[in-house]
């Protein structure tokens, strides 16, 4: 019976297809008998959208039938994973390709101005107050890590979240993120006074390039202490590549039954969250905030509590984390754009677009520093805090589709041919582009040393970065952790020696004392301040690792390596004397030395663990570690 119905549908579809274009694809027509009604519908859609070339080399039925079906199965996936389907993808691509060919400026008609936001200084009263209100809200937050990127610039063979954030303890990024979320939610629960403790959700957006390894990393490490049900992986699909200005889909040069695909960008996260139903689930559970972050920024969680506090206090629907930006520095600037037709948005404007935009709108000097010595447009670091209610309302309208862009590399100035196929892309931070003017969109600026040290560049490219600009390498990513922790200790009253300057992998970096603590020791500046007492000092050659929850440092003079660990029930006081030993030294390695693991080579140094004082307190009770 079912097959009779199917064959009736198939006949009908054949008639429709014939009506549509008898001559446009004889190859598809003669193969209709091997296709399902759904596949015929997809074929029709492809013909309607100018993709007849896809069937150009199809042989008669009986030859390569499985491959033909596989192509339509791929079309089905491309169609269903894109909001609005493949027809909408092709339509948008045509429009954007025409704009690109005509050299149209996406900011035509817009005037830039400086938006309003909050500028924080780590450790001052304002910062501490924001941290406190932020921590209270962690119970009502969900975290979203976008980790589907290829990491081509870094060129690391594994996934980026598996890289050690620092090599003193070897903690990888994902472990640090998860432990930070767990510790923050514990701190939040303390504030919640009797409310039931919620498992703060973590979503990780993966892609075919990262999914398997991410899952394996989680599973082989018992989810780093999170409940497996707390973590959801959402895999983004790639999008179809385009061969020319007519948005004809590009076939794989080695397989005429396969459409070439490439990543669509981290903007996919919005559509995935929406279509997964998670946003609604979170709203029904009473959550209020969604925090987005990236794969290799080991500092971010130092700024999260205060930035969330800003969102809460200022009732921001969208809060972008930002850092002071030097004029012309190669990061986007957060900018308010007002159109002549009245439209307004607060949005990231890429640095290469900001300068011409300013010049074209009455600022003849373009992108320049103001009296603070920085550009008035804060530098976007792409970590967003969205209020869940307005976020769902907006996505209900858009389905999560984010304004896309296209970046074809043309063969010559006629702009008629591409060097290689291109595709539409979208960015997470372009979410506010469709918001109404009533939306409350702001930013939170914190010091760079506190909040931003991503690992994106390989050693060779990092070494070529012009002096004064950030390297964004594994070398700078790790040394930034020691600098931030040392600076925070200083602000909390510890005497920490000045750093020395050293060169690793051709990059000049400050080497501070190697100070590392687990999130369970401190997740806010107030935590640190309450756990360092009296007169403490740490020399530049020292390493200080604090792993236990209730560890207090009091009157300690450290000139060597000290590692303190304890169970949560133990209370440990460390100090009242000097720890002096040969310590752990930081030693240069050759990035081309193949005997060394890649994780070490890409930073250009290794930790030589010569001598240390190391204590672990495994029982409940009060303890004193008096050197
Ligand atoms: P990056 O700008 O670091 O890009 O992405 P990338 O693709 O990882 O690295 P390159 O450009 O190839 O060198 C910023 C964040 O967005 C995620 C990355 O994993 C990173 O956390 N991302 C990027 C996705 O989740 N999906 C994408 O399609 C692209």
pLDDT tens by residue, 414-472? 999 999 999 999 999 999 998 988 899 999 999 999 999 999 999 999 999 988 889 99
How much distance in Å is there from the Cα of 601 to the middle of ligand 1? 22
DSSP string, 354-417: HHHHHHHTT-TT-S---TTSS-SSPEEEEEEEEEHHHHHHHHHHHTT---EEE---BSSTT--S
Mean per-residue pLDDT over the chain, rounded: 94
How much distance in Å is there from the Cα of 175 to the middle of ligand 1? 19
d(CA 197, CA 390) in angstroms, rounded, equals 25
d(CA 388, CA 437) in angstroms, rounded, equals 18
How much distance in Å is there from the Cα of 158 to the middle of ligand 1? 14
Give the closest residue (by CA) to ligand 1 atom 1: 149
Which of 13-22, 339-348, 550-559 has the weakest average pLDDT? 13-22
Ligand 1 nearest atom to the CA of residue 454, by list position: 3
Confidence of residue 2 (pLDDT cuts 50, 70, 90): very low
pLDDT at 329: 86
Ligand 1 nearest atom to the CA of residue 264, by list position: 28
Ligand 1 nearest atom to the CA of residue 210, by list position: 19
pLDDT at 15: 54
Instruction: Determine the distance from the C-alpha atom of residue 455 to the mean position of all C-alpha atoms in its chain, rounded to a whole number.
Output: 11
Q: In the predicted model, is pLDDT for residue 507 greater than 70?
A: yes
How much distance in Å is there from the Cα of 263 to the middle of ligand 1? 9
How much distance in Å is there from the Cα of 205 to the middle of ligand 1? 11
How much distance in Å is there from the Cα of 293 to the middle of ligand 1? 11
- 180-189 mean pLDDT: 95
Give the closest residue (by CA) to ligand 1 atom 4: 149
How much distance in Å is there from the Cα of 129 to the middle of ligand 1? 33
How much distance in Å is there from the Cα of 561 to the middle of ligand 1? 36
pLDDT at 191: 76
Instruction: Determine the distance from the C-alpha atom of residue 243 to the mean position of all C-alpha atoms in its chain, rounded to a whole number.
Output: 29
Give the closest residue (by CA) to ligand 1 atom 23: 149
Confidence of residue 22 (pLDDT cuts 50, 70, 90): very low
Residues within a 6 A CB radius of ligand 1: 146-154, 205, 207, 236, 263-266, 294-295, 456
How much distance in Å is there from the Cα of 532 to the middle of ligand 1? 38
3-state secondary structure of 304: helix
pLDDT at 1: 44
Pocket test for ligand 1, best of 82, 145, 148, 149 (most atoms within 8 A of CB): 149
d(CA 335, CA 356) in angstroms, rounded, equals 14
Give the closest residue (by CA) to ligand 1 atom 5: 149
d(CA 496, CA 399) in angstroms, rounded, equals 51
Ligand 1 nearest atom to the CA of residue 145, by list position: 21
- 300-304 mean pLDDT: 98
d(CA 332, CA 320) in angstroms, rounded, equals 12
Question: Contact, 351 vs 331, CB < 8 A?
Answer: yes
- 325-343 mean pLDDT: 92
d(CA 23, CA 161) in angstroms, rounded, equals 52
Q: What is the pLDDT of residues 557-597, one digit of tens each?
A: 999 999 999 999 999 999 999 999 999 999 999 999 999 99
- pTM listed for this prediction: 0.93
């Amino acid at each position: 019976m079912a097959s009779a119905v199917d064959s009736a549908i198939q006949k009908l579809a054949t008639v429709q297809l014939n009506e549509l274009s008898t001559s446009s694809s004889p190859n598809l027509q003669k193969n209709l008998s091997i296709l399902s009604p759904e596949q015929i519908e997809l074929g029709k859609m492809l013909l309607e959208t100018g993709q007849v070339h896809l069937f150009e080399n199809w042989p008669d039925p009986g030859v390569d039938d499985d491959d033909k079906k596989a192509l339509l199965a791929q079309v089905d996936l491309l169609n269903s994973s894109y909001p609005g389907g493949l027809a909408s993808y092709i339509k948008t691509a045509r429009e954007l390709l025409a704009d690109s060919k005509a050299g149209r400026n996406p900011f035509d008609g817009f005037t830039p101005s400086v938006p309003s936001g909050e500028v924080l200084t780590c450790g001052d009263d304002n910062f501490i107050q924001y941290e406190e209100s932020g921590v209270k809200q962690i119970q009502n937050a969900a975290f979203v890590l976008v980790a589907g990127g290829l990491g081509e610039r870094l060129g690391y063979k594994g996934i980026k979240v598996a890289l050690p954030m620092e090599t003193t303890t070897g903690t990888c990024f994902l472990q640090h993120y998860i432990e930070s979320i767990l510790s923050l939610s514990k701190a939040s629960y303390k504030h919640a006074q009797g409310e039931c403790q919620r498992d703060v959700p973590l979503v990780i957006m993966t892609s075919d390039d990262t999914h398997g390894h991410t899952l394996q990393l989680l599973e082989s490490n018992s989810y780093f202490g999170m409940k497996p049900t707390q973590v959801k992986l959402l895999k983004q699909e790639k999008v179809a590549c385009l061969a020319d200005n007519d948005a004809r889909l590009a076939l794989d040069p080695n397989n005429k039954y396969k459409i070439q695909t490439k990543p669509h960008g981290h903007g996919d996260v919005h559509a995935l969250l929406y279509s997964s139903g998670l946003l609604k689930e979170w709203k029904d559970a009473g959550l209020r905030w969604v925090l987005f972050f990236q794969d290799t920024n080991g500092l971010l969680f130092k700024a999260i509590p205060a930035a969330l506090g800003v969102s809460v206090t200022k009732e921001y629907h969208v809060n972008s984390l930002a850092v002071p930006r030097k004029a012309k520095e190669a990061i986007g600037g957060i900018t308010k754009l007002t159109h002549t037709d009245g439209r307004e948005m607060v949005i990231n404007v890429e640095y290469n677009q900001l300068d011409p935009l300013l010049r074209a709108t009455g600022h003849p000097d373009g992108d320049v520093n103001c009296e603070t010595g920085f550009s008035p447009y804060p530098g976007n670091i792409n970590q967003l805090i969205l209020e869940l209610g307005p976020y769902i309302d907006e996505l209900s309208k858009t389905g999560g589709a984010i304004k896309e862009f296209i970046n074809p590399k043309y063969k010559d100035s006629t702009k008629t041919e591409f060097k290689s196929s291109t595709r539409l892309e979208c960015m997470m931070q372009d979410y506010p582009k469709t918001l109404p003017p009533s939306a409350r969109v702001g930013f939170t600026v914190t010091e760079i040393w506190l909040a931003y040290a991503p690992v994106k560049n390989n050693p060779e490219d990092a070494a070529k970065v012009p002096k004064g600009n950030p390297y964004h390498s594994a070398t700078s990513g790790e040394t930034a952790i020691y600098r931030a922790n040392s600076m925070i200790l200083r602000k909390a009253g510890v005497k920490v020696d000045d750093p020395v300057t050293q060169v690793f992998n051709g990059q000049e970096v400050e080497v501070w004392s190697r100070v590392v603590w687990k999130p369970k020791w401190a997740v806010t500046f107030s935590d640190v301040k309450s756990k360092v007492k009296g007169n403490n000092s740490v020399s530049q050659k020292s390493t200080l690792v604090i792993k236990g929850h209730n560890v207090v440092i009091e009157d300690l003079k450290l000139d060597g390596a000290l590692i303190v660990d304890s169970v949560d029930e133990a209370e440990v006081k460390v100090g009242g004397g000097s720890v002096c030993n040969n310590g752990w030294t930081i030693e240069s390695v050759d990035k081309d030395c193949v005997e060394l693991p890649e994780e070490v080579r890409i930073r250009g140094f290794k930790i030589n663990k010569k001598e240390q004082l190391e204590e672990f307190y495994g029982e409940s009770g009060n303890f004193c570690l008096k050197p």
